[in-house]
Amino acid sequence: MIRDGGISGVTILIPPSFSEIEIYKNNKIKLSSGILDKNVSKLAFDNNLGGFEFLSGIPGNIGGAIAMNAGCYGSEIKDIVEEVLILERDGELKSYNNEEMQFSYRKSVIRKDQIIIEATFKGMHENKSYIKGKMDEVISSKKVSQPSKVATGGSTFKNPKEVKAWKLINSSGLSGYKIGGAMISPIHNNFFINTGNASAKDFEKLGEFVIHEVEKHHGIRLEWEIHLIGDSIDEI
């Protein structure tokens, strides 16, 4: 989430059009980092590749998914990545294998000054009906359990090992709580909704309030899953 004061300096955006695709034997594909996650799942379906179905439920592009080891419904990027090509700040290209990526829950070795260029993935051969069934399951589960057709910031906090973040928020009596134009979704308490005029500051203040209240009620400090970047209005 970009704070209301914006970002000082140059911002490099990897667009969805940065999406070269190479399909190999042995159930492998190489993808440029701009391709959208949902399009990766469709590509895998078209090529009878299983293991990519969870990506149909994740927004954003594959480069971002790699950097944060994105996942849902029991699957993560680390399960399918073989090799990642990185552009270093000095212009050098460097290749990282799965182990060197040091994947963990919503983390990888990728630093803020590195850019993911492309990655090679390996799935497993499956028939299309099986893959389609898994994709439909992910999409339908998401529609039932998460807010839809409204602007959200996605999953707000990482899940602690002990319990899901939404349960901690709910049991702290915060479902539907609102600060400014930002509101905790009553459908899924780990999603914040923009009710129409929310500022980034509203979202950040709501998040910090939730962190405080959950720690007060449960002794567990939630960690942001959303990355907060840029300057606040007060700082410019």
By annotation, the residues acting in catalysis are 106, 155, 225
Q: Distance between CA atoms of 192 and 201, rounded to whole angstroms?
A: 13
Closest listed residue to residue 29, CA positions, set 65, 77, 82: 82
Q: Distance between CA atoms of 42 and 136, rounded to whole angstroms?
A: 12
DSSP state of 226: S
Closest listed residue to residue 150, CA positions, set 119, 195, 120, 111: 195
Q: Which helix (H) or strand (E) holds 87?
A: strand 81-87
Q: Distance between CA atoms of 22 and 50, rounded to whole angstroms?
A: 17
Q: Considering Cα of 182, then 229, then 159, then 42, what sign does the dihedral take?
A: positive
Both tokens of residue 228? 């907060």
